[in-house]
């Protein structure tokens, strides 16, 4: 129960950090607020007993903070004040309210009962024996690994990992395309219209 | 981009190698403890980021050119696809073709260890390449203005 309370507090902290990141006018404060939200997420992962997730989360968060602060320190002047827009804020608040109502109905239910399983209940545990239960019973015999998460990632669900690797590959290629030097030079040589 | 003071340089010289070795360790023992190829690759990249920030972009570019990162990135992706394709020897795509071994041993889990190493190489090389590209791109003043 105390762990639930901790997690709710951390989610509140993440919401506050996200709001600060969106609303602040200073780019550096926004980056630091995003970093705070990421570290809170990694603490939530640890509290839920998922070190496999918390570990890369902390690492990626540190690297992203270093990179973003580095970028902001070198090009400080590109920050631009976003105009205040009452209509946009109202639409966002309305959308958030609709989402909260939908989530409440899904978790608590109107009278027919909840459609989402209770917190901490695995989704695929139903049936005989159920996919999650079967994985947990047999993973050492099936895959020969001691870390069940890695057995699922790279043996049972290796196709998903291949998809993730493809996503990283394409994202890195996109970064190279944006940052490549050939295009920069050619653009600099051409007379500007 | 210039390097930092000699205090930072000396501490980095001592620590960066240990950080990178720890990254290799994490990606080698992904099937035994939490971690794995992605986390290990990011740790290796963190070591290189320390070196680049402490010694400056020019020195880093001498040691590890960005084009070499492209080659390593592509070969990591190829190695992962090759591990998946070798499963055809056992019957299909991504089938674990190596012997499972005993649980809790370093050499166990069949193809999971080589797959983790391939992912680690891919992630480390790709992220280092992106980081070098960003650092060298911010070094030049933009020519549009």
pLDDT digits (tens, 9 = 90+) for A123-174: 666 666 677 778 888 888 888 888 888 888 888 888 899 999 999 999 999 9
A171 lies in some domain:
no
**Contact at 8 Å (CB) between B121 and B78?**
no
Res B143: pLDDT = 45
Asked whether residue A168 is domain-assigned, the answer is no
CB B98 within 8 A of CB B111: yes
B134 touches chain A (CB under 8 A): yes
The domain segmentation of chain B, as residue ranges, is: 6-139
Task: Name which of B102, B39, B99, B83 is nearest A145 in CA terms.
Answer: B102
Which is more confident, B82 or B93?
B82
Distance between CA atoms of residues B97 and B87, nearest Å: 5
DSSP code for B102:
-
Question: Band of the pLDDT at B144, cuts 50, 70, 90?
Answer: very low
**Do A144 and B109 count as a contact with CB atoms less than 8 A apart?**
yes
Task: List helix spans (H) across chain B.
Answer: 6-28, 37-55, 57-63, 66-86, 112-139
8 Å CB contact of A146 and B123: no
Number of domains, chain A = 1
What pLDDT score does A71 carry?
77
How far apart (Å, rounded) are the C-alpha atoms in residues A141 and B24?
27
Q: Do B110 and A59 touch (CB under 8 A)?
A: no
pLDDT digits (tens, 9 = 90+) for A68-103: 887 777 665 555 666 667 888 899 899 999 999 888
Q: Which of B78, B96, B71, B80 is nearest to B36 (CA)?
A: B80
Give me the pLDDT at residue A148, please. Answer: 86
Q: Given this model, what pLDDT does residue B142 score?
A: 45
How many angstroms separate the CA atoms of A134 and A152, rounded?
12
Q: Is A11 inside any structural domain?
A: yes
Mean pLDDT in residue range A10-38: 90
Does the residue A40 lie in any domain?
Answer: yes
Asked if B141 is an interface residue toward chain A (Cβ–Cβ < 8 A), one would say no
In a domain, A49, yes or no: yes
Of B15, B49, B28, B68, nearest to A145 by C-alpha is B28
**Residue range A15-31: average pLDDT?**
88
Substitution target in A150, A180, A181, A191 with the highest count of B β-carbons within 10 Å is A150
**Of the candidates A66, A146, A172, which has its C-beta nearest B103's C-beta?**
A146
More reliable by pLDDT, A53 or B92: A53
Let me know if residue A37 belongs to a domain: yes
Range of the domain at A48: 1-77
pLDDT band at B88, cuts 50/70/90? Answer: confident
pLDDT for residue A189: 58
* B60 contacts chain A (CB < 8 A): no
* pLDDT tens-digit readout, A101-122: 888 887 777 666 666 766 666 6
Looking at the domain assignment, is residue A53 inside a domain? yes
Best of B2, B3, B35 to substitute, by most chain A Cβ atoms within 10 angstroms, is B35
d(CA A26, CA B89): 57
pLDDT beyond 60 at B98: yes
């Amino acid at each position: 129960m105390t762990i639930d309370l901790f997690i709710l507090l951390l989610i509140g902290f993440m919401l506050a950090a996200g709001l600060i990141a969106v609303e602040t006018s200073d780019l550096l404060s926004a980056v630091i607020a995003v970093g705070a939200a990421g570290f809170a997420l990694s603490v939530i992962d640890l509290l839920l007993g998922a070190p496999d997730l918390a570990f890369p989360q902390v690492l990626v968060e540190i690297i992203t903070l270093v990179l973003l602060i580095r970028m902001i320190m070198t090009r400080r002047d590109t920050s631009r004040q976003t105009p205040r827009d009452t209509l946009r804020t109202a639409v966002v608040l309305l959308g958030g309210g609709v989402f909260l109502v939908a989530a409440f109905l899904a978790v608590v239910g109107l009278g027919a009962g909840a459609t989402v399983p209770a917190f901490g209940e695995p989704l695929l545990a139903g049936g005989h024996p159920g996919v999650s239960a079967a994985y947990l019973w047999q993973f050492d015999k099936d895959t020969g690994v001691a870390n069940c998460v890695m057995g699922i990632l790279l043996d049972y669900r290796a196709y998903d990992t291949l998809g993730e690797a493809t996503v990283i590959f394409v994202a890195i290629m996109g970064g190279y395309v944006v940052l490549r030097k050939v295009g920069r030079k050619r653009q600099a040589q051409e007379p500007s219209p | 981009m210039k390097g930092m003071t000699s205090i930072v340089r000396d501490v980095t010289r001592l620590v960066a190698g240990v950080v990178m070795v720890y990254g290799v360790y994490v990606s080698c023992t992904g099937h035994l403890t939490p971690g794995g190829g992605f986390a290990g690759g990011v740790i290796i990249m963190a070591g290189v980021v320390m070196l680049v920030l402490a010694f400056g972009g020019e020195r880093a570019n001498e040691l590890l050119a960005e084009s070499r990162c492209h080659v390593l990135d592509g070969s990591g992706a190829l190695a992962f696809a090759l591990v998946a394709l070798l499963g055809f020897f056992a019957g299909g795509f991504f089938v674990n073709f190596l012997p499972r071994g005993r649980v809790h041993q370093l050499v166990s889990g069949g193809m999971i260890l080589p797959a983790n190493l391939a992912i680690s190489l891919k992630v480390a090389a790709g992220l280092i390449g992106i980081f070098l590209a960003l650092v060298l791109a911010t070094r030049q003043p933009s020519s549009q203005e």
